[in-house]
Structure 1
Amino acid sequence: MTLDWVIGGGGLLGAALVRSLQARGGARFLPADRFSWTEPERLVGQIRAAVAEFEQQARHADAWNIYWAAGVGAMGSTAAELANETLAWGELLNAVSDSGLPSLRPGHIGLASSAGAIYAGLRADVIDENCDIAPTTPYAEAKLAQERLLADFCSRGLPVAALTARISTLYGTGQARGKRQGLISHMARSIVRNRPIQIFVPFDTVRDYITAEDAAELIIDSLRTLPPGVGRMRIVAAERPTSIAEIVATFRRVARRPVLIATSASQLSSLYLRRVQFRSIWETARPASSTSLAVGVAQVLAAERLAHAGGLQR
């Protein structure tokens, strides 16, 4: 049995990781104290206490895994908004390094990063792990800072495998409503409420959309291929380019109704390249039978209809 700790387990990716790990027979770790993300001094103590608690439970497991999927940052976030996330991540790694976890059982640590942010300024036909980074936002810089913290952790010679997962455009059911991202969720919400869909980028804008479930499976499988003491980075993507026009057409087919569109400019539009395609050079843990856009859109639309109906009944 593995002991799995997903930090950020209530978010889109984190919840998918929890579901996938539990389906594989893992035991979920939940700290006794809920993290106080807006109180840095208190948060440091909470992280240290949680790692000590996790170590005690890991003594009864065959292996332990920690997945970092926390954070409320997005492309439009400021450096100040992201500072606590990076601080907490660094404290977690230091606490793990100082604990008995590395020598206790085989261990794995996974970091959810952002391919879309880190390569945002790169002009390339297809982006893989060998491409140069091209950050354009404080969000990208924060993600790179988190990646460097994990690289520093790996340099300590500990027998812990580590994966940096640079994820393409993530979508799925349960995406946070207050987060400044999530085109597919935004479209579904607008359709259910019969409101115009606000589009801030050209219709030929191309992205790589991957469901949270598919991303979670790929992250777990990739991390488990790494031997102790090895740290690697991989791009986690569906490796299937999709345009905004294709998403709109898919919603029309799935919803079986006209889709109201309102186009306008946004200050965030300049942060995004017109066309982004990803492909990982990893030979192991390749994307399996990934969810099709039609199925993914149908799932998000069904979840939004259910949430809307529940709200009306209150």
Structure 2
Amino acid sequence: MNILKAILMGVVQGLTEFLPVSSSGHLGLVKGLFGIDNGSILFDILLHLATLVAICLVFYKDVIKIVIEFLGMCRDVFLNIAAFGKSLSGGRSPEYVRVIRSPYRKFVLMLIISTVPTGIIGIFMKDIVEYTSSNLLVTGICLICTGLILALSDFLPEGDKKLKESGYIDAFAIGTAQGVATLPGLSRSGTTIVAALLCGFDRKFAAKYSFIMSIPAVLGALILELFDIGSESITASDVGCYFVGMLFAAVIGFFALRLIMNLVVSRYFKYFAFYCGAIGIISVIVFFVKK
């Protein structure tokens, strides 16, 4: 690991994690075009943690409310279980507490529902994703698909669903889209935002839901990746490089996320569609030229 590689990977991660151009696809392209090996699993994990920090900073009010309501829901579930247990021993009808009694508790349940299909699909596709992560042909085809998906988004009718009007089936559908978007070259943010728009979500809420929904999914994926680290050795210079890479990923990711929130509302996805299509075609050409 060297400082220039750390900065390059941090910049690419920070920009492409939130812009609808596929971070995995661009990281794969950078590695393939510049001959960079897959490197440290730990460094990849730290880069993703850095962009998670960016999400938490941009949506800190929502994240704090979600955490508080999630803990409250856990408490109420345990209270209901205790009430049920007492009813069995005492013979009295249990008095249950209503668990979903506020908009943010509904938000929490929607996030949980979205995470389920994401996790199931992600587990089954793990080997496929790892095998194709540095394959320019697969990445190129998926980038072209991302371009087509983004082009569709600007032609969709204006939705009006916000948190109150959205449903749990919507959450499941968007979570399924997130699971499929683990393929290198498919933009997670682009795919899930378009899925939310197809469900009739308001554009701003579609973007917010997409990014907040990524927090549990990415955390779960990172926990699984921790088991693959094994006895990876880290030098003193690596620590400095990791820190610099994380810093670039977090700072650039913060501004990229603020930018994309405005672009979604302004219907500017078509420009990213052209970009993804062009990069995808170039990737396919490079694959056959190098072959």
**Scaled by the length of structure 2, what TM-score is found?**
0.28
Which of the two has greater helix per residue?
Answer: 2
**Scaled by the length of structure 1, what TM-score is found?**
0.27
Higher relative contact order (CA 8 A, sep 6+): 2
